[in-house]
Amino acid sequence: MSKHTPQQLQPEADHRFHIPVLLDKVVELLAPQSGETYLDLTAGYGGHAQAIANRTGDHKALTLVDRDDNAIKQLQSFEQKGARVVHDDFVHFAQAAVASGDKYDMVLVDFGVSSPQLDRAERGFSILRDGPLDMRMDNRQSKSAFDVVNHTREQELVKILREYGEERPSNAVRVAKAIVRARPLHTTKELADAILSTHRGPYQKIHPATRTFQAIRIAVNDELQQISKLLHIVDNLLQPHGRIAFISFHSLEDRLVKQYLSDEVKAGYEASLQLITKKAILGKIYDVHNPRARSASLRAAVKNKKKG
């Protein structure tokens, strides 16, 4: 079987089931005004973008970026109404936009994976739906989960599991050994089974492979490096008084955003941004009916008027 061949295709998930996370709070914090410009660096299926467009009243003022070809296809309806839709990773896009001097009134970064990415077995993100070991958000990229799982040395796998999965050291060693023993692994089920073999007895709510899957996904897509690089430059994309919001889904993402915003605040008079949210706004409190929001945290800031 080739490394990206789907083993068992599931029907495509309906994108209407991607419910945007913390939608009301995002709209409240970004506070769209008629005619303002909006940059969505992780536009996905356009749920947040649509809510913003409903308030600004102009699709032409939307710039929608995503690294996933499937998301880009779903965003065609926005393009037909005049939005700019860009298939790119947000670092590459932001670097080019900064170089061109582009600035926006609102920017949103909603990290992580979308429900359609998780739900489609052939994307290889899911523990519960068997598919090929893929996990690439951008299918133009060559490195996939197959490569990380099968071609990474055991010590390096331990490091990935500890750093990106926040796995306990003893668990990371045990899981890495089980993966190396079971190689070659081709499917998500084979990987999940290898990890389950290290687990004694039945598990409760959370599948024992959850942290490993998160870690491998982060490694495949260089997710934390993407976030760190973006945070270095993203304030340059804001107009004076421009608002920016970040939605994180796990502590590794949120830690980077929190640190970045608190460094900005400490810069005092020199600060380029000011916090709008003193503390993170949590999905488990403010978006209780949306299962995807359970681990979400939202932080937002506004650009100082002197720092155009």
Ligand X SMILES: C[S@@+](CC[C@H](N)C(=O)[O-])C[C@H]1O[C@@H](n2cnc3c(N)ncnc32)[C@H](O)[C@@H]1O
Q: Are 74 and 95 in contact (CB under 8 A)?
A: no
- Nearest CB to ligand X, comparing residues 87 and 307: 87
Of these, 32, 36, 44, 62, which contacts ligand X (CB under 6 A)?
44
The interface with ligand X within residues 55-74 (CB under 6 A) comprises 65-68, 71
- Nearest CB to ligand X, comparing residues 118 and 276: 118
Of these, 38, 90, 146, 213, which contacts ligand X (CB under 6 A)?
90
- Nearest CB to ligand X, comparing residues 78 and 146: 78
| Residue labelled with tokens 């084979």 | 190
- Nearest CB to ligand X, comparing residues 18 and 189: 18
- Nearest CB to ligand X, comparing residues 160 and 194: 160
In the complex, least distance from residue 26 CB atom to ligand X, rounded to whole angstroms: 8
Q: Rule CB under 6 A: is residue 46 a binding residue for ligand X? A: yes
CA distances from 21 to 35, 71, 109 (A): 24, 16, 12
User: What would the x/- binding string for ligand X be over residues 92 to 111, using CB under 6 A?
Assistant: ------------------x-
Of these, 22, 25, 48, 238, which contacts ligand X (CB under 6 A)?
48
The interface with ligand X within residues 111-140 (CB under 6 A) comprises 112-114, 137
Tokens coding 17:
């089931």
For 227-263, give the DSSP string.
HHHHHHHGGGGEEEEEEEEEEESSHHHHHHHHHHHHH
- Nearest CB to ligand X, comparing residues 164 and 172: 164
Tokens coding 120:
């489609």
In the complex, least distance from residue 70 CB atom to ligand X, rounded to whole angstroms: 8
Residue nearest to ligand X according to CB distances in the complex: 44
Tokens coding 242:
């421009």
25-46 as b/e: b if 16+ CB within 10 A: bbbebbebeeebbbbbbbbbbb
- Nearest CB to ligand X, comparing residues 66 and 264: 66
The interface with ligand X within residues 136-195 (CB under 6 A) comprises 137
In the complex, least distance from residue 180 CB atom to ligand X, rounded to whole angstroms: 29
CA distances from 198 to 85, 146, 170 (A): 44, 20, 11
For 167-236, give the DSSP string.
--HHHHHHHHHHHHHH-S--BHHHHHHHHHTTS-S---SS-TTHHHHHHHHHHHHTHHHHHHHHHHHGGG
Q: Are 134 and 4 in contact (CB under 8 A)?
A: yes
Q: Tell which residue, 246, 69, 218, has the closest CA to residue 145.
A: 218
The interface with ligand X within residues 23-42 (CB under 6 A) comprises 42
How many residues contact ligand X, by CB under 6 A? 22
Interface with ligand X by CB under 6 A: which residues?
18, 20, 42-48, 65-68, 71, 89-90, 110, 112-114, 137, 226
